[in-house]
Structure 1
Amino acid sequence: MEYLHGHVYETPVKVFAPAKVLSCVPPPTRKVVETPIQCSTGSFYKFFKKQASLLPSVCGAVVQTVGLADGNRSWVNTVGSRKVIEILAAESCSDTAEKFKYVVEAVDDRSRKITYKVLEGSLLQLYDSFTVTLQVTSASTAKWTVEYVKKDPCSEDPDFYLQLFRTINATVDIYLRSNDY
């Protein structure tokens, strides 16, 4: 069960703007969760880049469905590709789910990093923007970074989703090791 143990920390986001420009937009907040993985880091990254359609069968308790959106015909995550994902709902102890549409904003194969931006879904009722980055490090860790701007300063932080990423990391790691990827 040590897969579920990881580190969650918050890092400040530096925003640089010209000195004369004043803005009422708050800077984004960044939270990170890192978990160790024992499978090949290349396999773990490849799973999220090319095989994300398997998430419902691998992590069915968390991810109910994944689908292609807006005319996309490939499951490979490339810049601009759009998908829809249905996950366990934050407020639920029952079998309800939340559906989100996202776009892949960046893919960096060299540093094994994929950045996703939420385009539609209930998260955008609480946040002006919500971006998630997965990076698989050479130190055998899977690191999810969530960057968001709250619509209301009193809104909750998205800690629930960080816990989901921790569970997904552990489950995918076990799946890849047990299937010799």
Structure 2
Amino acid sequence: MSLTGKLVFQIEIKSNGDVFHELFKNKPYEVSSISPDIVHGCELHHGDWGTVGSIIFWTYTHDGQKKVAKEIIESIDKEKKSVTFKVIEGDLLKLYKSFIITVQVENHGQNNLVIWTLQYEKLNHSVPDPTTIADLATKLTKDIETHHLK
């Protein structure tokens, strides 16, 4: 049984994929007003919004508990419409040695896909795969879609 893993899942959305990508790339601070039950805050701690190397601090609810995560933007791919965040501090690192989140959008006419990739290394074999984080990301995606369809 390996301690490293990769969880990839996709959600079909009807809202504009470019708007979704732009939100995570340049305006992640707006997520807390779009999905306040999940994300309570998003602050820039270093750098500039939408810039590789910038550090973002999130407050959110996961499994019924308020949690925090400090992430560095590792990469932004404008062509692939993806943003990759690496967790550098926070609650996820109590279970995982490393945790990287990539959110990507693929446009297919009116139906677009949001593809989430979670790459992680567990601290030990008793740590579960991050399926509840996948559930949280799915709900967040649906909240963003609903907001953009209004």
TM over 0.5: yes
The residue number in structure 1 matching 2:144 is: 172
Q: Name the SS of the counterpart of 1:138 in structure 2.
A: strand
Question: How many residues align structurally?
Answer: 146
Larger of the two Rg values belongs to structure: 1
| TM-score where L is the length of structure 1 | 0.77
Q: Please tell me whether the aligned partners of residues 7 and 119 of structure 2 are also in contact (alpha carbons under 8 angstroms).
A: yes
Q: Distance in 2 between matches of 1:66 and 1:30?
A: 25
Structure 2 counterpart SS, 1:148? strand
Moved over 4 A (4+): none
2:28 is aligned to: 52
- Of 103, 123, 126, which aligns to 1:134? 103
The amino acid that maps onto 2:135 is: Q
Whether 1:89 aligns to 2:62 is yes
Q: Which amino acid aligns with 2:87?
A: V
Identify, as 1 or 2, the structure richer in strand. Answer: 2
Identify unmatched segments of 5+ residues in structure 1. Answer: 1-25
Query: Residues 20-62 of structure 1: CA distance to partner in whole angstroms, max 9, x if unpaired?
Result: xxxxxx5630001211111111111111111211111100000
Q: Give the Å deviation of 1:138.
A: 2.2
- Give a deviation string over 1:114-169, Cα, whole Å, max 9, x none: 10000001211111100000010123110110000111011111111101110111
Contact 2:3 2:123 in 1 (8 A): no
Distance in 1 (CA, whole Å) between partners of 2:58 and 2:36 is 12
Matches within 5 A, 1:18-167: 28-69=4-45, 71-72=46-47, 74=48, 76-90=49-63, 92=64, 96-139=65-108, 140-167=112-139
Listed as ranges, the gaps of 5+ residues in structure 2 are none
Give the superposed CA RMSD: 1.3
**Distance (Å, rounded) in 2 between the aligned partners of 1:116 and 1:109:** 15
Displacement of 1:176 in angstroms is 1.4
Which of the pair has the greater relative contact order for Cα pairs under 8 Å at 6+ separation? 2
